[in-house]
Each structure stands twice: as structure tokens, then as C-alpha cells.
Structure 1
Amino acid sequence: MRNIRRRRAIALFISLGVCMVALAVTLQFGWIILNWRRLVPLVLGIPFFALLIAGVILNTIFLVREVRRNEHHDSFLNAVTHELKTPVASIRLYLETLQRRNLPEAQRQEFYGIMLADSERLLATIEQVLKAGEVGQRAKKNQVRVEVDLLTLVKECIQITLQRYHLEPDRITLQPVDHQTLLAVSGDRQDLHSAILNVLDNAVKYSPEQVAVRVSISLENDAWILIRVTDDGIGVPAAHLKGIFKRFYRVPNMSLLKVKGTGLGLFLVRSIVRQHGGDARAESAGEGKGTTIILQLPRLLTPATESQTALLDRSESLTRVP
């Protein structure tokens, strides 16, 4: 019901803007017809008319954007409220049960495990919201960057995701790496850890029938490291492949799956990767055909690698000399 009202409001603003433009055009042409013999008013009137039309169009665009922004904020607040309220209610229920009843030790341990998982889910949501507020500010500051081995980091994130969703080890597989080169980048390990976890989390959540996630790491032109995370889930329509990386953006049909989220996961992923000099993109053959998220990061060239590259370039230049 609320979405219908918002759509009506957007339609109203667009219709009002079109009517105002049409009225302005009608008045301008009427003014030109009445004053066509007066050169000076005619010349002065045309720029003012152009400014009037531009102002009306910009005002309409601004109003429509504000309505959509408010809609995204409301969706975000509803999603965050659910993500915070659900684990808190679950933890409270189990605590009350433990307090009122004398349960066997095995069942008590089971309840402890469920409460621990709910607390981790609650902490993950809070960290995601806080990081979304920090990600814009961190871009302006000088970050302390260290060498990060992406292969080790990806393996660690896979293990965390398997434990978080209680999955069998073969549900998320890492493809064999076919080279012995150090796959390292210069950056913030915690931020990269958060980005990879968000991608894996999405791959699992949007695979409702059976989780089958494949992860691969490869080199591109010996200068870029590509991390591909592919799932066999619900897929993404082509029109939404770029939009899913926007703040608070959620594909409309995704709500039918009752998959809750804050709409910040992929926004954080792209922001973090871009802060590290790379980029993130999505590929999908369409609805029901799975999705691939690709993280592209600049490879860290160690002194040994740099010297090898220099020697290779020198040898190639010598072979070209006649």
C-alpha cells in the first residue's frame, strides 16, 4: 500500500512538471506571436524562457529523486529493524526458556549454540551499518595499508561462511589456483575481509533451493587479481546488474523470497574495492540462472617480482635489436 502511494506521488510530480513545461511553452509561443515585430523583447525573452524550462525540469527531477531517496531510506530502516529485532527476540526467548525450565545438558548446549549464532548475526548487522557510515570518510584519509595475501583471506572467509550457515564443506568450493605467484594486494585486511564475506553471504542467501557456490582467484594481465564468486541462485535481471551496487538498492522481485537485508552489502563491497584501486561488477544470464560477482584488485608487485619484470622487459628489448 505504501509503495502504491509513493508511485502515485512520483507520477504526480512528473505529471505536474510536464504540465508546467507545456504551459510555459504555450505562453512563450503566445508571447512570441504577439511581439514578433519587437526585436529586443523577443531576443531577451528567449533566454528567460530557456531558463524557466530548465528550472521546471530540474525541480521535477529533484522532487522525484527525493521521493525515491525517502523510499530507499524507509526500506533500509524497515530492513535494519527486522535484522536487529529478530535475533534479539530469539535470544530473549531462549534465555527465558533456560531460566524457567530445568533442561537436559544437551538441550542447553543446543540453545547456547543458537543464541551464539543469533548474537553473531546481530553483530554482523551492526558492523555492516557502522562500516557503511565509515566507508565514505575513510576514502578521504590516509589509510595504513599492509600486504594482504588474498588466497589466505578467501579461504578464511569461506570457512567463516560455512560455519555461519552450517553448510557442508562441498557447498562452497575454491577452485585450484594454477600458478605459484603470490596473490597479494596492498590494503586494509579488515575491509577486504568484510567485502569478501559480504559477497559470500549474498551468494548463500540468494540460493534458496540448494547452495552451490564456486570461488576462483586468477590473474589478469599479470597486474590484476580477479576474485569470482559464482552461485546457482535466483540470478539478477540485466536491468538491475549495475543497480545492485547502489546504497539501499534491492531488486524488486527479491522481496518475494522473503530474504531480509539492509541493502548495504554490495554497496560496501564496491566502495571498499574501489578504495583499493579496483572495481566490482556483476554478471548474470537472467532470473533463475545464478550470479557471478567479480572483484578486481591491483596486484601488489613485490621487489622480487618487479626485478623479474624488469629483466623480462630488458630481454625482450634486446631480442628486438637487429
Structure 2
Amino acid sequence: MPGRRRQAILFTVLGIVMVALAVALQSVWVVVNWRFSVLLVLGSIFFLLLIAGVTLNSIFLVREIRKNEQHNAFLNAVTHELKTPVASIKLYLETLERREVPPEKRKEFYRVMLDDSNRLMNTIEQVLEASRVGNRDARGKQSVSLTAVVADCVEMAGTRHHLPDGAIHLERRLPTGDSAIVIGDAQELKSAVSNLIENAIKYRSGEIKVAIEVERLDGKRVAIRVKDQGIGIAQEELKRIFGRFYRTSGTAAQKVKGAGLGLFIVRSVAKKHRGRAYAASDGIGKGSTFTMELESVFPAKVVL
């Protein structure tokens, strides 16, 4: 990783030096040949083309280096996320095969293996979902109740993480009878909301305390906000975190395992439903708020 960053810095510096050299040469040429107006015009045009070419080439090289860096980070993360649960399951199965394990211990082994299997399936689903939502071809659209989607995701997260009552608080800020209907893909919306809730749980700094709001903004938009009291996000990373494979650079964040696809899925789903996704945080250690705004139907006529 440091080597690739040095390469990016090298190409950036090289591009700046080449631009500076070109500017210097052009300035000298203009001073020497200021009387030849036609040559001056042609030289200026070629000079601008040269500058544009050097700049575009430098930008392209730096972007390619960053993409390769992100792909390598993604492969390392996914490999770890796949290898670790598989190795754990194999170890417990070998133990059960070779030894006589007491019933209580056997139940514990089964529970751990189920947790590892769920972790494995979650990683696979994340990769597949990221590939699918990246495709702009939309599947069949239907009327989807956001309140029902969010409620299902909250229940699923509580069951998966064995959360106590009150760990996730859901508040509906909607007019009476409005269930915030969105025309779109129910599975994709559920995946996006689940990712927001999972992130709030994974990146906690202590006790799990998550607040979720479903709010009617106006007649055409509805917002889902997920607020946590977790490790927070640096201001310069608030926009980057929605990129594919991107993971924050903070020490606390790096301890959390993942492939860097969750927020990319959230942003992609929001765009496909004519909305947007963004994050807010007061800084490291001060929690975060993730918002997904979607185009909706009001008043609601169909509830699924």
C-alpha cells in the first residue's frame, strides 16, 4: 500500500514538473518570438494542447494507481472475510469428528459454526448485491412500503446480533396513514437499509445505541436516517466513504472487518430510486448520521 501511494505521489510530482517546464519554455519562446504573431498563435495552441495532454495523462495514471490500490484492498478484505469463517468451521468440524464432545459444548460449536456460516453468506451476498446494483438495468418495479422495509430490517438486525430491547429505536415521522411508498425494488431497498443498520452496529464505540427515523420531507420525498454514537468519520472522508471498496483510514475503523461495499450499495440503490445518500459527522468519536432520501408516492395508496 505505501509503495502504491509513493507511485501516485511520483506521477503527480512528475506531472507538475512537466507542466512547469512547459510553461517556462512557452514563456521564453513568447519573449523571443513576440514579433511573429502567427507563430505565436500556433505556438500557444500547441502549448495548450501539450498542457492538456500532460494533465490528462497524469490524472489517468493517478486514478489507475488508486483503482488498483482499491481492488487489492478489496481482494485482501474479501479473501480474509471468506477464509476466516471457513477455517473456523473446518476446525470445529474436525474437533467434532475426532473427539467425543459433551452435548453442551457441541451446542456451542454448532452456534459458532452457524454464526460463521452467516458471516460467510453475508460477504457473498454483499459482493453479489454490489455487482447487481451497479447494473443500471432495473428489474420489475413495484410499490414498496419503506416503513415495512425498515421495520423488517430492524427486527432482522436485532435477531442476528441478539440485541436487547431499545438498542435500536425506530421513529416514524409521517402523516397519519402514510407508510412512505416508494416505486422500486423491495430487495434492493432492504439491502440498503440493512447495510446502514449493520454499519451503525459494527462501528460502535461502546454500547449499541442506534436511532432510525423515517420522515416525510415533502409530497415527493421521504428520508431514512440512521444515527449512531459510534467512532465517527473525519470531515474529509464523508464523501469518499460511498465509493466502491473504500474503507476509512482511522485506526478504530480498520479493526472492523469488511469488504468496503456496504455504503457503495446504499448510494447505488438511492440513485436507482431517484434519490441520494449522504453522511454527516462532527468528527472522530462523535458518532455519525447516514441519510438516504428517496422519491416517494404521497398519499400512499398501496402497502406491501
Q: Tell me the TM-score normalised to structure 2 length.
A: 0.93
Alignment: residue pair count: 301
Contact 2:248 2:254 in 1 (8 A): no
CA drift at 1:176 = 5.2
CA drift at 1:150 = 1.6
CA drift at 1:213 = 0.6
1:1-322 equivalence runs, <5 A: 2-3=1-2, 5-137=3-135, 139=136, 141-175=137-171, 179-254=176-251, 257-301=254-298
What SS class does the counterpart of residue 42 from structure 1 fall into?
helix
CA drift at 1:257 = 4.7
**C-alpha offsets along residues 34-83 of structure 1, whole Å, 9 cap, x if unaligned?**
32332322221110011111111111111111111111111111111111
Runs of at least 5 residues in structure 1 that lack an aligned partner in the other structure: 306-322
Give distance in 2, aligned partners of 1:273 and 1:163.
26
Structure with bigger helix share is: 1
Give distance in 1, aligned partners of 2:254 and 2:132.
30
Alpha carbons of structure 1 residues 79 and 97: separation in structure 2 relative to 1, 3 Å: same
What SS class does the counterpart of residue 222 from structure 1 fall into?
coil
Q: Tell me the TM-score normalised to structure 1 length.
A: 0.88
What SS class does the counterpart of residue 166 from structure 2 fall into?
helix
CA drift at 1:95 = 0.8
| Corresponding letter in the other structure for 1:87 | P
What SS class does the counterpart of residue 185 from structure 1 fall into?
strand
| Corresponding letter in the other structure for 1:270 | R
Percent sequence identity over aligned pairs: 49
| Corresponding letter in the other structure for 1:19 | V
**C-alpha offsets along residues 259-309 of structure 1, whole Å, 9 cap, x if unaligned?**
11111100100101110112111111111111111111222246869xxxx
Give distance in 1, aligned partners of 2:21 and 2:172.
66
Runs of at least 5 residues in structure 2 that lack an aligned partner in the other structure: none
| Corresponding letter in the other structure for 2:81 | E
> After the TM superposition, which parts of structure 1 deviate over 6 Å for at least 4 consecutive aligned residues?
none
**C-alpha offsets along residues 8-35 of structure 1, whole Å, 9 cap, x if unaligned?**
2122112211221122122222322332
Worse overlay, 23-32 or 225-234: 23-32
* Higher relative contact order structure (alpha carbons within 8 Å, sequence separation ≥ 6): 2
Q: Return the index of the structure with the highest Cα Rg.
A: 1
Alpha carbons of structure 1 residues 78 and 44: separation in structure 2 relative to 1, 3 Å: same
What SS class does the counterpart of residue 37 from structure 1 fall into?
coil
| Corresponding letter in the other structure for 2:296 | R
Give distance in 2, aligned partners of 1:272 and 1:70.
25
RMSD of aligned residue pairs (Cα, Å): 1.9
CA drift at 1:174 = 1.3
Give distance in 2, aligned partners of 1:227 and 1:40.
61
Contact 2:180 2:300 in 1 (8 A): no
